[in-house]
């Protein structure tokens, strides 16, 4: 017999498993809450997200691409904030 507690545990485990699946950077929707994962790629889909969030002035550069690769677990909102911080310092 499955108890309500067992259903809660199963639901939590299923949700946790889903959250750790790698993001498809080529075609999956990207929001500010999307987490940068270890398989992050600089794709046209990512570029579209940044252009929508920042504007046409957005450009990838090597230091920012390195930041993206080294900040697994950060959100895309964090990445936008980082890009804007770097841009303000130029």
* Phi, psi at 13, each rounded to 5°: -65, -40
Give pLDDT tens digits for 17-68: 345 578 999 999 999 999 999 999 999 999 999 999 999 999 999 999 999 9
Q: Which helix (H) or strand (E) holds 69?
A: helix 62-70
Domain ranges of the chain: 23-88
* pLDDT surpasses 50 at 7: no
pTM of the full predicted structure?
Answer: 0.75
């Amino acid at each position: 017999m499955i108890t309500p507690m067992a259903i809660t545990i199963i639901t939590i485990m299923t949700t946790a498993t889903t959250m750790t699946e790698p993001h498809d950077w080529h075609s999956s929707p990207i929001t500010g809450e999307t987490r940068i994962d270890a398989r992050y790629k600089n794709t046209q889909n990512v570029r579209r997200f940044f252009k929508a969030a920042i504007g046409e002035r957005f450009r990838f550069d090597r230091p920012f691409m390195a930041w993206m690769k080294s900040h697994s677990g950060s959100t895309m909102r964090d990445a936008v904030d980082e890009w804007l911080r770097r841009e303000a310092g130029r």
